[in-house]
């Protein structure tokens, strides 16, 4: 980054809310139905159909607003944004322009440059559009997504680099996931960010001309797009050219952006108050109820974990970086497992398998009950750690009951010392060289013999016990 | 006495008493349509077989005692901007010439539950934009009183059908006078309820904040009965209001003692036809004679009602009609290259001139840079007009006024000068801006024999006040008519002797 310039970034973040039904009708929001099966006269813009606001949308918007320190417009309203496009069945989108539900908030982020507050200009509610499919024969429309509820979180231009942008997005994602208001998956589009970016000479007070970047489908794409756009704008200025106010589309494959439309061809959306919907009146009691129902958020959890559990800060950060992980962690402890033990399973085996299977913590399948059982099996000495790891892998994929699994597959440890000794005699007989090595002072040879014994026992022995018996037998 | 001369409530009573069967009533109406509708063109579509089947079903339910309502078995018509499941619903527009809804409007469902039988869908100004029923893509409707004249609009088909006995009552919709003005021109009774009283679900929107469905009927009693049937709280319409006073028929009393009637001076200015003025004033006198308190007052802000109305209605209409784009249903222009050409051709070919004019007007008043000067100013004016009505209703129970400045104009006269046509809405639009209930009741005829209606306006939720005043006027007018007829007869007898 050129140190003679400062980058100024603001974000518009769209979040798809986790309601069961759409914002203005009772159609399902479920993903992946056959085209146009989750539709009705309202969300396909049939003549005479009327919207009715889904109360849960307001509650989620309020919850996000309160958790991001916003003020609440107690008299809020919907407006129509008029534009023609086939994915929008009414040719207007019901959104909020004049009186958005939340405004004037902010969240604290922690980036490489330290802590700072990123202001939130407003949060408003709106409906999603349908999907178009283009092929040689023409264009098809699926209105299943039409009317899926969204909130748009508009930040102040308070960010200065990609690092801060990512920290802000992570912060929003965690708050919203913890609230249960959305799963916030960038790849699947349930969280989408448009980046407004301008550059100015270091120390300048006036903002430069900004561009808006769309089609950013991952944190990596956002980082690359920001770096590319900073560079592009600085180069323009250095060359004595002007930055054009426009909307650009990021092509992550080619790592560059293209202009979509300039300010001159910006549409006039002819916003006006939606006459088919009553104003949204929010009482103090309602706000208090939402506040009261707010779950413990990540920052609060981190503080509590530090106080309650003896685990490293690093572990706390990882575990709380996903609501799902934090929930499993707490549930498993409630079932009697030691925090350190639970943390280890999450930090090591779970993280490894997530990476291997390329999935997110939100997709974890195993239940806290089964993890608690597995931990108990190890603690009781019913299985050893090696076996436990194998069982865990199966559990990770299928959420099997570890007790049943261990029993059915005969994985329990052989506690019969007689049987163990018999095997050890066989191993000693079969490996005279190693025995000789050990007796000649090569202590590592014992490890080999333990390994051979474990293999012969198919892992179902306590390695410490094997070690002990072997050592005793050979030291005679 | 023929079936057709009965009112809806009278017919309902006879059906219940087994003096008339539902099928007989339906056949009588279908025969009337067969005879007269080629000339009047009240209907865009007539559902003969559907009506006959429905008649048999309803008869069974009446016979088995499951249907007992006063409208059970009564044939009715529905304005063609109100959705009827499985029945063509065109809004009088080419753009919806093939549109068959998969759902019925809540008002229609309510009437079906009451046992009424839909005969067909009535003609109207395209998307309810017009005051004459001449902007329909399905031909003009003629006034049954004099076929050289328009029936008024936009619910001209519904009002003419009731006047011509082509149904016993009809549903209309009123955005700026579209029930009251044609009711006045056709000599029938039409009521626009308080905004939010009848669900708008299934009413194809013209201007959402002004539209209301209401009854068009042969008399005030029928009007009250139909209003009772269609009014309901509907969770599907966010602007629907829960009320606990749906017993409108209770107000059917001649007694108007102590009723305070206000007459806005501002409505009796130069533009008002002398015959209309005289008839409306005589209606006021009838109320006074029955014990009402009548006085004139100032309602000066109403002069701003027309510009405010046309700005707001057009703004909402432009947006509401955006969905008719050829993409999803109904008319699509053929052989367009690309999306934008398809949009342009579909909408240019599908919409008529008046609709296109209002869409353009609506787009203009909402465009950036003009929003404050037009749309916001209109909203503020609307608020002021509402305030002025609020003040008036502190003093009066009913405001009495003409429904229209003239009787029905001749066919072809009005569309030549659209602004003049807009100005003829002067007595009706303020009511929609303020969300008030209002009714047009016949109160006389002009020298050409064309009907005149008096408009009765009440405060929100006070339909009963206008039903009471309307019923009183209606009874007095019919007595006067009888007396006049008797006098004429005795004079004739004298002359013969």
Q: Check CB contact under 8 Å for A47 and B83.
A: yes
Tokens representing B238 are: 């966010």
| Minimal CA separation from B78 to chain A, in Å | 14
With contacts defined as CB-CB under 8 Å, which chain B residues touch A267? none
Peptide bond into B169 cis (omega under 30): no
Low-confidence ranges of chain B (pLDDT < 70): 1, 497
Element counts in chain B: helices (H) and strands (E)? 15, 11
Is the pLDDT at A30 greater than 70, yes or no? yes
pLDDT of A421 over the 90 cut? no
As a whole number, mean pLDDT of residues A161-176 equals 96
User: What are the chain A neighbours of B198 within 8 Å (beta carbons)?
Assistant: none
- For residue A243, count other CB atoms closer than 10 A to its CB: 18
- pLDDT tens, position by position, A206-265: 999 999 999 999 999 999 999 999 999 999 999 999 999 999 999 999 999 999 887 767
Which of B327, B342, B374 to probe the A interface (max A CBs under 10 A)? B327
Q: Convert the pLDDT of each residue in B80-135 to its tens digit.
A: 999 999 999 999 999 999 999 999 999 999 999 999 999 999 999 999 999 999 99
DSSP A39-101: --TTTTT-TT------HHHHHHHHHHHHHTT-EE-SEE--EEEE---TTSTTSEEEE-SSS-S
CATH class of B3-302+383-486: alpha beta
Contact indicator for B75, B168 with CB cutoff of 8 Å = yes
Are A272 and B315 within 8 A, CB to CB? yes
For chain A, helix (H) and strand (E) counts, in that order, are 16, 16
Tally the C-alpha atoms within 13 A of residue B470's C-alpha that lie toward its C-beta.
36
Backbone angles phi, psi at B414, to 5 degrees: -80, -35
pLDDT of the residue at B422 = 86
| pLDDT tens-digit series, residues A401-420 | 999 998 888 777 766 677 78
- Beta-bridge partners for A246: A211, A262
Say if residues A162 and A222 touch (Cβ distance below 8 Å): yes
Strand A246-251, strand A211-214: pairing: parallel
Clarify whether B154 is annotated catalytic. yes
- The dihedrals phi and psi of B172, each to the nearest 5 degrees, come to -125, 180
Mean pLDDT for chain A? 92
Helix (H, G, I), strand (E, B) or coil at B101: coil
Taking CB atoms and an 8 Å limit, are B328 and A271 in contact across chains?
no
pTM for the whole structure: 0.90
Kindly tell me if the per-residue pLDDT of A266 is higher than 80: no
Phi first, then psi: give them for residue A283, nearest 5 degrees.
Answer: -85, 160
pLDDT at A13 over 90: yes
Each domain of chain B, given as residue ranges in start order, spans 3-302+383-486
User: What gap in Å lies between CA A57 and CA B468, rounded to an integer?
Assistant: 45
Q: What tens digit of pLDDT does each residue of A283-335 get?
A: 999 999 999 999 999 999 999 999 999 899 999 999 999 899 999 999 999 99
User: How far, in Å, are B432, B483, B493 from residue B496 at the CA level?
Assistant: 53, 19, 5
Task: Identify the pLDDT of residue B1.
Answer: 58
- State residue A450's pLDDT score: 86
Give the chain A residue nearest B321 (alpha carbons): A90
Q: Which pairs with CB-CB distance under 8 Å and at least 24 residues apart come from A136-145?
A: A139/A86, A140/A35, A141/A36, A141/A86, A141/A87, A141/B327, A141/B328, A142/A35, A142/A36, A143/A36, A143/A39, A143/A43, A143/A44, A143/A89, A144/A33, A144/A35, A144/A36, A144/A37, A144/A38, A144/A39
Catalytic residue (one of B104, B154, B173, B424): B154
Q: Does A46 touch chain B (CB under 8 A)?
A: yes
Q: How far is B241 from A244, CA to CA, in rounded Å?
A: 50
Give which of A289, A322, A343 is closest to A55, Cα–Cα. A289
Out of B79, B142, B192, B218, pick the active-site residue: B79
Q: What is the Cα–Cα distance from A272 to B207, expressed in whole angstroms?
A: 13
Segment (H or E) for A281: strand A280-281
Structural domains in chain A, sorted by start? 5-286 (no CATH), 296-408 (no CATH), 417-475 (1.10.10.410)
**Is B395 among the residues known to form the active site?**
no
> B346 CA to chain A: closest CA distance, Å?
13
How high is the pLDDT of residue B298? 94
Could you report how far apart the first and last alpha carbons of chain B are, in Å? 30
B204, B238, B327: residue with CB nearest A48: B204
Q: How many CB atoms lie within 10 A of CB A129?
A: 19
Active site (annotated) includes residue B173: no
pLDDT at B206: 98
Q: How confident is the model at residue A468 (pLDDT cuts 50, 70, 90)?
A: confident
- Pairing type for strands A246-251 and A280-281 reads unpaired
Distance CA A225, CA A61 (A): 29
**Percentage of chain B exceeding pLDDT 70:** 100
**Between A and B, how many CB-CB pairs are < 8 A?**
99
In the predicted model, is pLDDT for residue A59 greater than 90? Answer: yes
State in Å, rounded, how far the first CA of chain A is from the last one: 71
């Amino acid at each position: 980054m050129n140190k003679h310039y400062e980058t100024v970034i603001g974000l518009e973040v769209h979040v798809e809310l986790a309601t069961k039904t759409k914002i203005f009708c009772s159609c399902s929001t479920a993903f992946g139905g056959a085209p146009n099966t989750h539709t009705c006269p309202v969300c396909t813009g049939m003549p005479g159909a009327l919207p009715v606001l889904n109360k849960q949308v307001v509650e989620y918007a309020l919850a996000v607003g309160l958790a991001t320190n916003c003020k609440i417009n107690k008299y809020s309203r919907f407006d129509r944004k008029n534009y023609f496009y086939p994915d929008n069945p009414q040719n207007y989108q019901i959104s909020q322009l004049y009186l958005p539900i939340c405004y004037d908030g902010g969240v604290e982020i922690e980036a490489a440059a330290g802590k700072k507050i990123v202001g939130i200009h407003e949060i408003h509610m709106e409906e999603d559009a349908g999907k178009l499919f283009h092929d040689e024969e023409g264009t098809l429309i699926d209105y299943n997504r039409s009317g899926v509820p969204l909130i748009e979180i508009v930040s102040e231009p308070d960010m200065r680099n990609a690092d801060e942008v990512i920290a802000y997005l992570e912060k929003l994602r965690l708050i919203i996931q913890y609230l249960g208001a959305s799963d916030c998956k960038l790849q699947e589009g349930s969280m989408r960010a448009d980046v407004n970016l301008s550059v100015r000479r270091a120390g300048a007070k006036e903002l430069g001309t900004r561009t808006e970047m769309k089609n950013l489908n991952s944190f990596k794409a956002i980082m690359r797009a920001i770096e590319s756009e900073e560079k592009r704008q600085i180069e323009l200025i250095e060359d004595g050219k002007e930055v054009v106010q426009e909307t650009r589309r990021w092509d992550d494959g080619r790592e560059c952006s293209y202009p979509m439309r300039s300010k001159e061809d910006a549409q006039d959306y002819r916003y006006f108050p939606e006459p088919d919907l009553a104003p949204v009146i929010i009482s103090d009691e309602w706000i208090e109820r939402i506040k009261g129902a707010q779950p413990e958020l990540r920052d609060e959890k981190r503080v509590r974990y530090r106080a309650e559990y003896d685990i490293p800060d690093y572990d706390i950060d990882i575990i709380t970086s996903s609501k799902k992980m934090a929930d499993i962690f707490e549930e498993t402890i409630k079932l009697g497992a030691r925090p350190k033990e639970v943390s280890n399973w999450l930090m090591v085996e779970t993280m490894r398998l997530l990476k291997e299977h390329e999935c997110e913590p939100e997709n974890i399948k195993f239940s806290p009950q089964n993890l608690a059982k597995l931990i108990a099996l190890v603690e009781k000495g019913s299985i050893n750690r090696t076996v436990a790891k194998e069982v865990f892998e199966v559990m990770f994929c299928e959420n099997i009951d570890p007790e049943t699994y261990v029993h059915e597959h005969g994985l329990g440890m052989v506690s019969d010392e007689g049987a163990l000794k018999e095997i050890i005699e066989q191993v000693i007989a079969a490996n005279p060289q190693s025995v000789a090595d050990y007796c000649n002072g090569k202590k590592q040879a014992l490890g080999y013999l333990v390994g051979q014994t474990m293999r012969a026992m198919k892992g179902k022995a306590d390695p410490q016990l094997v070690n002990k018996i072997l050592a005793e037998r050979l030291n005679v | 006495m023929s079936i057709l001369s009965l009112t809806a409530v009278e017919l309902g009573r006879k059906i219940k008493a087994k003096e008339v069967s539902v099928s007989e009533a339906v056949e009588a109406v279908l025969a009337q349509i067969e005879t007269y509708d080629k000339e009047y063109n009240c209907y865009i579509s007539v559902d003969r077989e559907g009506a006959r089947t429905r008649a048999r079903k309803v008869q069974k339910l009446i016979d088995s005692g499951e249907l007992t309502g006063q409208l059970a078995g009564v044939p009715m018509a529905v304005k063609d901007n109100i959705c009827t499941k499985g029945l063509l619903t065109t809004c009088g527009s080419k753009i919806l010439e093939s549109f068959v809804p998969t759902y019925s409007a809540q008002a229609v469902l309510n009437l079906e539950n009451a046992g009424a039988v839909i005969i067909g869908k009535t003609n109207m100004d395209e998307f309810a934009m017009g005051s004459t029923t001449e902007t329909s893509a399905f031909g003009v409707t003629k006034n049954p009183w004099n076929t050289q004249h328009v029936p008024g609009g936009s619910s001209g088909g519904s009002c003419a059908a009731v006047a011509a006995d082509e149904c016993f009552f009809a549903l209309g919709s009123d955005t700026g006078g579209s029930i009251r003005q044609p009711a006045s021109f056709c000599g029938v009774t039409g009521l626009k309820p308080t905004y939010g009283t009848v669900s708008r679900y299934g009413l194809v929107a013209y201007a959402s904040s002004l539209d209301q469905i209401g009854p068009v009927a042969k008399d005030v009693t029928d009007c009250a009965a139909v209003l009772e049937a269609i009014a309901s709280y509907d969770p599907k319409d966010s602007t629907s209001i829960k009320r606990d006073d749906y017993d409108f028929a209770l107000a059917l009393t001649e007694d108007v003692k102590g009723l305070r009637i206000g007459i806005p001076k501002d409505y009796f200015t130069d533009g008002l036809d002398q015959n209309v003025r005289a008839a409306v004033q005589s209606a006021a006198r009838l109320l006074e004679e029955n014990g009402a308190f009548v006085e004139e007052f100032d309602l000066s802000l109403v002069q701003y009602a027309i510009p405010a109305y046309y700005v707001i209605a057009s703004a909402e209409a432009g947006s509401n009609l955006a969905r008719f784009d050829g993409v999803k249903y109904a008319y699509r222009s053929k052989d367009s290259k690309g999306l934008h050409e398809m949009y342009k051709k579909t909408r240019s070919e599908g919409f008529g001139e008046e609709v296109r004019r209002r869409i353009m007007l609506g787009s203009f008043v909402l465009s950036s840079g003009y929003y404050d000067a037009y749309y916001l100013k209109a909203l503020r004016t609307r608020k002021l007009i509402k305030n002025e009505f609020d003040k008036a209703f502190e003093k009066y129970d009913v405001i009495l006024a003409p429904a229209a400045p003239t009787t029905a104009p001749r066919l072809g006269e009005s569309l030549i000068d659209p602004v003049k046509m807009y100005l003829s809405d002067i007595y009706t639009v303020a009511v929609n801006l303020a969300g008030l209930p209002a009714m047009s009741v016949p109160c006389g005829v002009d020298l050409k024999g064309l009907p005149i209606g008096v408009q009765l306006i009440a405060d929100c939720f006070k339909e009963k006040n206008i039903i009471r005043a309307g019923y009183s006027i209606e009874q007095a007018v019919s007595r006067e008519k009888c007396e006049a007829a008797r006098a004429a007869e005795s004079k004739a007898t004298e002359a013969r002797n």
